[in-house]
Chains A and B, each alone.
Chain A
Amino acid sequence: MITNNIRKSILHMVHYSKSSHVGTCLSIVDILYVLYFEKLNIDPLQPLMSHRDKFILSKGHGGAALYATLAERGFFPKEHLDQYYVNNGMLPGHLDMEAVPGIEASAGSLGHGLSIGVGMAVANRQSGNPGEVFVLLGDGECNEGSVWEAVMLAATLQLKNLTVIIDYNKLQSFGWTNEVIDQSNMAERWRSFGWETYEIDGHNLAEIRDVLSIEQTKPKAVIAHSIKGKGVSFMENKLEWHYKSPNGDELKIAYDELGDFL
């Protein structure tokens, strides 16, 4: 499965570079897969084609997952993934749009991506460009006030070419999301702000596919219930895997669980 390839690339990257954020990367792989392999109108050979769909990974600390997905989709050679988070490498830990083709916006400070997505959606609508805009937010990221500034504006502008996916993995950097800031009514919040809101299993490819194909009349919010560290049993739902990188033995166990490379 391609999703397993992406997961293995992520594990390799964080092991090789001894960097963190593997848990947050693994929780969004299935969403990235559906977007980049089925949904988005993109061409790896023409990353800047004018009517393309755009995707912004606002939770920039999940950058390794996007790099791995873009490489898997052919935007750049997979060997470049060895250049992640290492001295003189080409891929910084948080996304830099100048690093490789296919990154629509730099990210790393939380709460920026949705505003940028709103701007892109407004530009497309004003110019008659059919491209759609997708933004992935972390659930912890929704603590940022700037997210809600953008939420309010997008609803007011009725941006039906804009979709937000919230990676609702329920763990943030220093604890359970709802213990830090209670957002247990996440869907209700988005709906009350005027968004078409859906809740899905963020690892069920069919559900992701279906929800993204629903025609919209307003901006769409998809609350994707997910599991931090998804796919590697000892990482799932474990806060420490926000920060840790797997050692050689752990990497081997993780690889075995994910099966053979394609």
Chain B
Amino acid sequence: MRDTFITELVRQAEMDDRIFLITPDIGFSVLEKFRDRFPDRFLNVGIAEQNAVGVAAGLALSGKIVYVYSIVPFVTMRCFEQVRVDLAYMNTNVRMVGVGAGFSYGPAGATHHSIEDIAIMRCLPNMTVCCPGDPVEVEAIISQSVNHSGPMYIRLGKNREPKIHSQEAVLTIGKAVEVVEGQDVCIFTTSNMLELGHKWTKELALRGVSSSLISMHTMKPFDTQAVLDVINLGMPIVTLEEHNVIGGLASAVSEVIAESGKGVKFKKIGIPDVFSHVVGDHEFVRNKIILNGDKIQELIDWL
């Protein structure tokens, strides 16, 4: 997703000279493509995230479209008050781009894990929150972000994630996408769990369960109609996310269910409100914290 992001941003910047990129000293071997091509629209402001966001706001108030790139916790929480006041309150055209969704930086430790970002960014008025699940979604979101009005948070995974959608898929910010159609259960995923959700639909099919898969690449504005459509079919709903189960996809989907006036079976799979003290690569930490046991069997038994 990282490489797709920068490739698409360079492509957009070639067509639109309002685009700026700011980094608080992150992005070695990623951002050079942009820096070398547009040196007067690139700023490394040093290890100073608060200033990065404020400078971005000043540029945006001057008519620029500004992308600020860093690792998720630093681009969301380290400078949260600047994000709240300078971006959300002032409604400026700044895009906070966080790399390292969930446990992508697994062995780096919990300071680098991204487990609360969706919750805190989604409660900011004016903020659009995008959590693409594959490179096709990244490309569509970055491309549409250029002419999007107001601030955005874009949560990226790491690198070399496989394409789940076909390259021609039509994706729109704010509109959920049904990736697989099924009848017995509906799995909602967001961000970097799309790949696993896709794998699960295949495994469930092998075990005789027909599941549908919906990608919530935009967490705000949240496509409530997509959830209501599933509720109206009476299908059990599972949410799958690499984020705290508090405040993210599980919360957003359950809010829709709660207000629908209809009951539907609901199961949330995500980070169970803990910091990870587990050391290991992305998959290792994910398996220890979220996916312990035979989750597919657990799902089938639950159904």
CA distance A105 to B59 in the complex (A): 12
13 A/B residue pairs, CB under 8 Å, sorted by A: A105-B57, A112-B82, A116-B58, A116-B61, A119-B55, A119-B58, A120-B58, A120-B61, A120-B62, A122-B59, A145-B50, A146-B54, A149-B51
A123 contacts B64, C-beta separation under 8 Å: yes
How many contacting A-B pairs (Cβ < 8 A)? Answer: 91
> Which chain B residue shows the least CB distance to A114?
B54
Interface residues of B (CB under 8 A from A): 40-41, 43, 45-46, 48, 50-51, 53-64, 66, 81-82, 85-86, 89-90
- With A120-B59, A120-B61, A122-B43 as given contacts, are A112 and B89 in contact (CB-CB < 8 Å)? no
Q: Are the C-beta atoms of A112 and B48 separated by less than 8 Å? A: no
Q: Are B40 and A126 in contact (CB under 8 A)?
A: yes
Pairs A-B, 7 closest by C-beta atoms = A119-B58, A115-B54, A123-B62, A149-B51, A149-B48, A119-B55, A116-B58
| Cα–Cα distance between A116 and B178 once the two chains are bound (Å) | 41
Residues of chain B lying within 8 A (CB to CB) of residue A115: 50-51, 53-55, 57-58, 82, 86
Q: Which A-chain residue is minimally distant from B24 (CB atoms)? A: A149
Q: Is A82 interfacial (CB-CB < 8 Å)? A: no
Alpha-carbon gap, A150 to B48, bound state (A) = 9
Q: Which of A11-40 contact B (CB under 8 A)?
A: none
| Minimum C-beta distance from A118 to chain B (A) | 5
A119 pairs with B46, CB closer than 8 A: no
Residues on B with C-beta less than 8 A from A146 are 48, 50-51, 54, 82
Q: A residues within 8 A CB of B41?
A: 126
Q: Which residues of B contact A104 (CB under 8 A)?
A: 61
Structural contact, A122 and B90, CB atoms closer than 8 A = no
Q: A106-B90, A149-B51, A153-B48 are in contact. Are A119 and B62 (CB under 8 A)?
A: yes
| Binary per-residue interface labels of chain A (144-182) against chain B in the complex, 1 for a CB within 8 Å, 0 otherwise | 011001101100100000000000000000000000000
Interface membership of A97, Cβ < 8 A: yes
Binding site of A, secondary structure by majority: helix, strand, loop or mixed? helix
Please list the residues of chain A having a beta carbon within 8 angstroms of any beta carbon in chain B: 97, 104-106, 108-109, 111-112, 114-124, 126-127, 129, 145-146, 149-150, 152-153, 156
Determine whether the beta carbon of A109 is less than 8 Å from that of B55. Answer: no
Known contacts A109-B81, A112-B85, A119-B62, A153 near B46 by CB under 8 Å:
yes
Q: CB distance A105 to B90 under 8 Å? A: yes
Are B48 and A119 in contact (CB-based, < 8 A)? no
Q: Is the CB of B63 within 8 A of A123?
A: yes
CB atoms of A119 and B59 under 8 A apart: yes
* Bound-complex Cα distance A153 to B82 (A): 17
User: Within the assembled complex, what's the spacing in Å between the Cα atoms of A180 and B75?
Assistant: 31
Chain B nearest Cβ from A91, distance in angstroms = 16
Note all chain B residues with C-beta closer than 8 A to A122: 43, 55, 58-59
> Hey, which chain A residues are within 8 Å of B58, CB to CB?
105, 115-123
From B45, which residue of chain A is reached at the shortest CB distance? Answer: A153
Which one of A97, A114, A124, A127 contacts B90 once the chains associate, using CB atoms below 8 Å? A97
Q: Are B55 and A150 interface neighbours, CB within 8 A?
A: yes
Measured CB to CB, the closest approach of chain A to B242, in angstroms, equals 31
Cβ of B87 to closest chain A Cβ, rounded Å:
11
